[in-house]
Amino acid sequence: MSGAPSWSEEAIDLVGSATKAPSSHNTQPWFFLIGEPYVDLLADTTRALPVNDPDGRELTISCGCALLNLVLAAADRGFHVENRLLPDPDESDWLSRVSITRDSAERVPEAELARFIDQRRTCRTRFEPRPVEGKAVDAMVEAAAAEGAWLRPLETDALRQRAVELVVEGDALQWGDPKWRRELAAWMHTRSEGDGLTVSPFTAPIAQMVVRNFDMGGGVASKDRELAENSPLLAVLGTDDDSPRSWLAAGQALQRVLLVGCSFGLRASYLNQPIQVGELRGQVGELAGGEGLPQILLRFGYAPNPLPPTPRRPLADVIEWS
Ligand SMILES: Cc1cc2nc3c(=O)[nH]c(=O)nc-3n(C[C@H](O)[C@H](O)[C@H](O)COP(=O)(O)O)c2cc1C
């Protein structure tokens, strides 16, 4: 009997790598249809965030992150991969078909990034004060461009300070909106639920009640101000236009940037508030040079301690067989 894994086993394993991607509020808004020899990626719009993300922009970006993981993981296992990006206007949730064959044993150099899929985490703590090395910044800028997006570091104190003020304004506007707070509270889950923003089972009911009912924008904003001001690098990731196709590209670019950052020992987290709030988004765009659309505002730096992984849904819940 051969010890080689079957296609089904390989495909499940690849989907496992895909689902390690980051997602907005850890909603994991994806779904995988496995056929032979392909894996289709679909958006699971039942996991949308209608208040935080009314157009499904971040939902599609999250799916783009999962898509890049899938492609890299398949390339890393020696498969030939063709990533046919949709979305098809008639089937808008169907985002991509990734054909995976043994046609060529040639290993693409980018497959190396797959080994950082397990290491990447969102790191919400303060970073060490040392600057991010220039070659890491250049590599992340190239990574975004490789996926058809751009990453623009905020290089002057004035730009950084303006970004911090926009984050603070974004916090105030989001926390002042009871619908936004209710949606956030609904995604505060215990680890055993497999998704959402993790809270301890002992404090979950109180934490959810507080978030639902109280505007804590002031406290959150001062913490975000402190984190942002002390981050060695702030950068805007964006695209030239604002369509589902470019959101998907933004997701692939985001994940590639994060993995490349990881390869340099960098950690990252998000300051997306002023992009999520429609009236502030244009101002973030101006910080990034005024051309194109900002999709994600990131902070980068170094932090000493390893972080535990956040939970993921069981693979059986995100896979269907064609
Ligand atoms: C499109 C997108 C938007 C996100 N926005 C935020 C955000 O505004 N604030 C934040 O703290 N984390 C944000 N995150 C990070 C997620 O909360 C995080 O990926 C999720 O909780 C899973 O944790 P992990 O990244 O450590 O695997 C975002 C992630 C993605 C992909």
Q: What is the pLDDT of residues 149-199, one digit of tens each?
A: 999 999 999 999 999 999 999 999 999 999 999 999 999 999 999 999 999
Note the Cα 138 to chain centre separation in Å. 20
Shared-domain flag, residues 148 and 49: no
Task: Give residue 54's pLDDT.
Answer: 97
**Taking all residues of the chain, what is their mean pLDDT, rounded to a whole number?**
95
pLDDT of residue 105: 63
Binned at pLDDT 50, 70 and 90, residue 53 comes out as very high
Q: Confidence band (pLDDT; 50, 70, 90) for 2? A: low
Task: Tell me the CA distances in angstroms from 30 to 19, 67, 95, one per residue in order.
Answer: 8, 10, 10
User: Whose Cα sits closest to atom 28 in ligand 1?
Assistant: 24
26 torsion bin: left (phi>0), alpha (psi -120 to 50), beta (else): left
Q: Is residue 223 part of a domain?
A: yes
Residue of 17, 26, 224 with the most ligand 1 atoms within 8 Å of its CB, for mutation: 26
CATH label of the domain that carries residue 65:
3.40.109.10
Q: How many A from CA of 121 to the centre of ligand 1?
A: 9
58 Cα–ligand 1 center, Å: 10
Structure confidence by residue, pLDDT tens digits, 95-153: 999 999 987 667 888 899 999 999 999 999 999 999 999 999 999 999 999 999 999 99
| 108 and 166, same domain (yes or no) | no
Terminal Cα distance for the chain, rounded:
27
Residues 76 and 105 in one domain: yes
Mutate to test the pocket of ligand 1, among 19, 23, 167 (most ligand atoms within 8 A of CB): 23
Question: Quick check: is 202 in a domain?
Answer: no
Count of other CB atoms within 10 angstroms of residue 92? 15
Q: Please check whether residues 105 and 145 belong to one and the same domain.
A: no
Shared domain for 100 and 156, answered yes or no, is: no
Predicted local distance difference test score (pLDDT) of residue 86: 75
- Here the tokens at position 15 are 């989907």
| 188 CA distance to ligand 1 middle (Å) | 13
Specify the number of domains making up the chain.
2
CA angle 67/117/91 to nearest 5° reads 10
Instruction: Look at residue 156 and tell me if it is in a domain.
Output: yes
Residues in the chain: 322
Quick check: 307 pLDDT over 70? yes
Q: Which of 63, 121, 112, 62 is nearest to 258 (CA)?
A: 121
Q: What is the pLDDT of residue 15?
A: 98
Q: 256 with 145, same domain?
A: yes
Locate the ligand 1 atom nearest the alpha carbon of residue 22 and give its number.
19
Ligand 1 atom 7: residue of nearest CA:
270
Burial pattern 122-145, b for ≥16 Cβ within 10 A else e, equals: ebeeebeeeebeeebbebbbebbe
**From 272, 280, 300, mutation site for ligand 1 pocket: most ligand atoms within 8 A of C-beta:** 272
Task: Identify the helix (H) or strand (E) that includes residue 41.
Answer: strand 38-43
If asked whether residues 100 and 165 sit together in one domain, one would say: no
* CA–centroid distance, residue 261 to ligand 1 (Å): 16
* Mean local confidence (pLDDT), 246-264: 98
Position 13 pLDDT exceeds 70: yes
Give the number of C-alpha atoms closer than 13 A to the C-alpha of residue 112, restricted to the C-beta side.
Answer: 6
**Are residues 278 and 315 both part of a single domain?**
no
Query: Considering only CA atoms, which residue is closest to atom 2 of ligand 1?
Result: 24
On whether residue 184 sits in a domain, the answer given is no
Atom of ligand 1 nearest to the CA of 196: 21
Our measurement of the distance from residue 87's CA atom to the centroid of its chain's CA atoms, rounded to an integer in Å, reads 19
Say whether both 146 and 109 belong to one domain.
Answer: no
* 183 falls within a domain: no
| pLDDT of the residue at 104 | 66
pLDDT the model gives residue 163: 98
Query: What is the Å distance from ligand 1's center to 48 Cα?
Result: 14
- In a domain, residue 95? The reply is yes
87 pLDDT band, cuts 50/70/90, is low
- Is 141 found in the same domain as 115? no
Q: How far apart are CA 197 and CA 90, in angstroms?
A: 33
In percent, the amount of the chain with pLDDT more than 70 equals: 98
Q: Does one domain contain both 241 and 296?
A: yes
Q: What pLDDT score was predicted for residue 85?
A: 86
Do the domain assignments include residue 129?
no
Q: Quote the ligand 1 centre to 268 CA distance (angstroms).
A: 10
The confidence band for 305, taking pLDDT boundaries of 50, 70 and 90, is confident
The contacts of residue 191 (CB under 8 Å, 6+ apart) are 198, 201, 311
The DSSP output letter for 225 is: H
Q: Are residues 104 and 20 in the same domain?
A: yes
- What percent of the chain shows pLDDT beyond 90? 91
pLDDT category at 91 given cuts 50, 70, 90 is confident
What is the rounded distance in angstroms from the CA atom of residue 215 to the CA atom of residue 174? 9
Q: Give the pLDDT confidence score for residue 148 in this predicted structure.
A: 97
How far CA 39 is from CA of 34, 72, 224, 261, 317, in Å, comes to 5, 13, 39, 27, 15
Give the span between the Cα atoms of 266 and 17, in whole angstroms.
20
- For the cut 60, the answer to whether the pLDDT of residue 1 exceeds it is no
Read off the pLDDT of each residue in 42-70 and give the average, rounded to a whole number. 98
pLDDT band with cut points at 50, 70 and 90 for residue 47: very high
DSSP 107-165: PPGGGGGGGGTTT--B--SPPPSSPPPHHHHHHHHHHHHHTT-EEEE--SHHHHHHHHH
Domain contains 196: no
Range of the structural domain that residue 50 is part of: 7-119+309-321
Ligand 1: lining residues by beta carbon, under 6 Å: 22-26, 58, 61-62, 65, 121-122, 124, 197, 269-270, 272, 310
